Structure 1
Amino acid sequence: MPIPEAARAALTRLELGVPDAALETLDAYLHRLLEVNQRMNLTAVREHDAAWLRLLVDALTALPGLPGAGADAGELPTGVIDVGSGGGLPGIPLAITRPDLSFTLLEATGKKARFLEETAAALGLANVAVLNARAETAGRDPALRERYGLAVSRAVGPMPVILELTLPLVAVGGRSLCMKGPRAEQELRDSGEALHRLGAGEVAVFDAYPEGFGNDLVVVSVVKASATPKKYPRAPGMPKAEPL
């Protein structure tokens, strides 16, 4: 199917700098996602044109927060980890448009992790690695803990849960970038304890879309100011069962 004009217009208006060459790869990813979604629960969006806007364009609104694209990476690691990647959102669209960065897609469900591996291989994404593990386990692994300059997440859970799952993986000075809905401000007000305990610093909230788009997606950026205490993340299931 052709790339919908509404999606092209949105990308142009958002000025995200997505190269034309990436559009075809993005569409190939979307076709694969929607095809496999018929037998595996990857997304509630099932129609091609709607998925371009609600899945791909939404994911690409995180591009300005990536290292080297309006964010000064400095001496930080440039690797990006997508926590709870699911069907590859936002990680795969970001990896397609930023082949200069390395992306790790962290997914706990085995069949979804296999889909991610097969999709990265089919699309020739040499900058993508897939890790089949829970975030609570990954965050305690010395090979992964505080190794990433940026963690991204979408539809993972309330802010206190997201922070406990992402910040242990982020290097001091790095950031957790959370894609949230209109309740983001309220969730942040409920996250004071989590922010304090996990080593968070500056918090910024910005609308992913300018006024007039009719989309209330919000991006929350949390800087990691100090090392996360070793007791976090807690055991698998605890962050969700008993949020900080």
Structure 2
Amino acid sequence: MPAIPAFVTDELSQLGVTLDPSQLDTLARYLDRLLDTTQRINLTAVREPDAAWRRLIIDSLSLVPGFEPVAEDATIIDIGTGGGLPGIPLAIARPDLRVTLLEATGKKVRFLNECIEALGLTNTRAIQQRAELLGQDPAHRQQYDIAVSRAVGPMTEVLEYSLPLVKVGGRVLAMKGPKLEQELAAAGDALGILGAGDMEVFEAYPPNFKQDLVIASIIKDRATPGMYPRRPGVPKHEPL
């Protein structure tokens, strides 16, 4: 079994996240697979194990407090999940939730499916598709309680990928860095057009961590117009 650094439990506790030993072991197995596969497929730029625990696992789980209140069996979609971040750590920490991992690249989706099977994540599935196309699919459009994302792009893109997939009354949780204020200033039109309502920005970590990760929480209060999301590539090259 891969080693779990001593700081993990303490730092998660400071975030308000408590895991049992089996969940920590599953996270360790996932991280071991992720780092091993990264030697062949570029899944993450973080290669050192302690840094990976902090920047990949603990960062991902900083979203957990933002889930409240959320009903058991709520549906979560992780947009542009790559190697499964933040979706797989969230699925391990919250087995009561149903997590969909959305990724466009086939070799990454194969890795995700191998992880889901090897780790026994019965609450998790992976889909290979572009967010712009899935957002127009009636089986997925406005079907999710929460959309999460990490390192997907500027907020204008994140909103166009995410809000069409979220139910009215659901929310978007976007992990962002110190440029979020400028991104939100540029995303005013997108917020209005796509159905966004109340928005809150909160620090992912307590001040003693000296981390600059922030989370934007956006409630969806009305249906997204049918023309959104636009066709693949347009949200990136012609932002709202």
| Residue identity opposite 2:224 in structure 1 | T
Q: State the distance in 2 between where 1:18 and 1:11 align.
A: 8
Superposed CA offset, 1:131-164 (max 9, x none): 0000000000000000000000000000000000
**What are the residue-to-residue correspondences of 1:1-244 with 2, within 5 Å?**
1-66=2-67, 70-73=68-71, 78-244=74-240
Q: State the distance in 1 between where 2:176 and 2:8 align.
A: 20
TM-score using structure 1 length = 0.95
Superposed CA offset, 1:215-239 (max 9, x none): 1100100100100000000000000
Q: State the distance in 2 between where 1:141 and 1:16 align.
A: 34
SS at match of 2:74: coil
Whether the 8 Å CA contact 2:105–2:128 is kept in 1: the answer is yes
Whether the 8 Å CA contact 1:172–1:227 is kept in 2: the answer is yes
TM-score using structure 2 length = 0.97
| Residue identity opposite 2:196 in structure 1 | A
Whether the 8 Å CA contact 1:152–1:177 is kept in 2: the answer is yes
SS at match of 1:205: strand
Name the % identity.
Answer: 57
Distance 1:15 1:40, change over 3 A: same
Aligned length: 239
Superposed CA offset, 1:153-205 (max 9, x none): 00000000000000000000000100001111211111100000000000000
Q: State the distance in 1 between where 2:160 and 2:227 align.
A: 11
Q: State the distance in 1 between where 2:18 and 2:128 align.
A: 31
Unaligned 5+ residue runs, structure 2? none
> What is the CA RMSD across the aligned residues, in angstroms?
1.2
